[in-house]
Amino acid sequence: MAPKVLVSDKLSETAVQIFRDRGIEVDFEPGLGKDKDRLMEIIGNYDGLAIRSATKATETLINAAPNLKVIGRAGIGTDNVDKVAASKKGVIVMNTPFGNMITTAEHAIAMMFAVARQIPEASASTHAGKWEKSKFMGTELTGKVLGVIGAGNIGGIVCDRAVGLKMKVVAFDPFLSQDKADKMGVEKVDLDELLHRADFITLHVPLIDSTRNILSRENLEKTRKGVRIINCARGGLVDEVALADLLKSGHVAGAAFDVFAEEPATDNALFNLPNVVCTPHLGAATTEAQENVALQVAEQMADYLLTGAVTNALNMPSVTAEEAKVMGPWIKLAEHLGAFIGQLTDEPIKAVNILYDGVVSEMNLKALDCAAIAGILKPANPDVNMVSAPVIAADRGIKASCTTQAKSGTFDGYIKLTVVTDKRERSIAGTVFSDGKPRFIQIKGINIDAEIGNHMLYTTNDDVPGIIGALGATMGAHGVNIANFTLGRNEVGGDAIALLYVDNPIPEDVLNALRETELFHSVSPLEFDV
């Protein structure tokens, strides 16, 4: 059955057609996002939801959508999506951070020009029939110091344009390397130095705990007299009341804001102040940008629903289509390793340690981590998936870690999973053979070579005669057909294990019959989604 997507906000017909061309059934209902009741009624029918800013993907809406797998936001901001609720339900949240980068950067540059030359006020004055040429004395950008807070995707474009304008650019960004700064032609500085030196300050960071109110009253007071502040990033980055006070005092010469702490902004401390330019969140509002993000979100959602490729997800590691092809068997292996331990562990898990050896150590480890943790949790939480698993694990206080190493043995690569509880450590390792099939290669430190099937039986025992006979005779007597039989031991007369791959689920009376032989320490039926 083809995946089904609902588009509840305005998207271009070209973007909608992308879904259809990829074989996805799509219902295009722009404006539905404002009809909360009807959206609630029908959301359960869809695998994907494509939105802009009008639709509010709340916890209530997400919980009413049992089939929902992905929410795609055509744009950068996802404040209208409850990402915590989505993660807990295993719903991927995607945005399109690159489709409107140039447009947003250009708007910041335009706003900088506007406030430097007081263009909006001069225009209004001239339209009113005045000719106040001497009133609107501006300042050149050439030779001025531009302080860029956040030199990532959009900030980097602003830096490039500012360098082209012959401005001296200083940038504060903890993630900006010195080598990258040199290539960009900007000077990397700390925040205090930027505040003290900049003639213009522009912000290009997301609104997170570390950036919230980054231009606080205290930091605004550190700026040089006559500074001009531009914010086309996110409301909440600047203390707007403090900025209004400093504008009134003359310490700050001007400001240009496209975003506000409260939106829609119908009343704000910055409104109606001299040389303050305000626009209604127009950073991404160009024809080109709106088309770009619409096309991008359609492609991303279609790729995920059809191939499992994850791009620009906010709550899951990205996996390209190429990676998905190569990693598919390894992701399945990680899930199987986790499922093995998850089905045998009935006490609280304290820690999960994952070792990646050889070729697999160079893959997308975050995605593999998510798959392994999902496998561990799935026996007790059937609805868990790679998206929700890390959230659930964190809620339970499970600490996850991974290590990598170069090829160390017979196999080109393998994954070893170890789970720690208060009572024990339990470990299992596996690899992927050239045929693309995952296999178990070690359990409890005992080497084996076991094919993985839907229905399996795992037993532990002392290495004594009669085990094979007991297993074979008991299974045969109850009509259970064995497809594959693997044995292993750590030493003669030591600990031994058996792993059987059978055709059908093992009845409880068979398990009891094996236990009654008193030959086994444990008899555990296992199920795997192969």
Catalytic residues: 234, 263, 281
Residue appearing with tokens 């070893």: 416
The pair of structure tokens assigned to 289 is 């940008």
The pair of structure tokens assigned to 444 is 């409890």
The pair of structure tokens assigned to 170 is 């200083």
The pair of structure tokens assigned to 298 is 């359609």
Distance of CA 1 to the CA centre of its chain: 27
d(CA 496, CA 290): 63
Torsion angle in degrees (nearest 10) through CA of 224, 226, 231, 237 = 40
Q: What are phi and psi of 325, to 5 degrees?
A: -65, -45
Torsion angle in degrees (nearest 10) through CA of 358, 361, 363, 364 = 160
Residues 50, 297 contacting (CB under 8 angstroms): yes
Catalogue the E-assigned strands of 365-412.
Answer: 399-405
Sequence-separated (6 or more) residues with CB below 8 Å from residue 415? 330, 333, 334, 337, 354, 355, 356, 357, 360, 368, 372, 429, 430, 431
Decide: helix, strand or coil at residue 117: helix
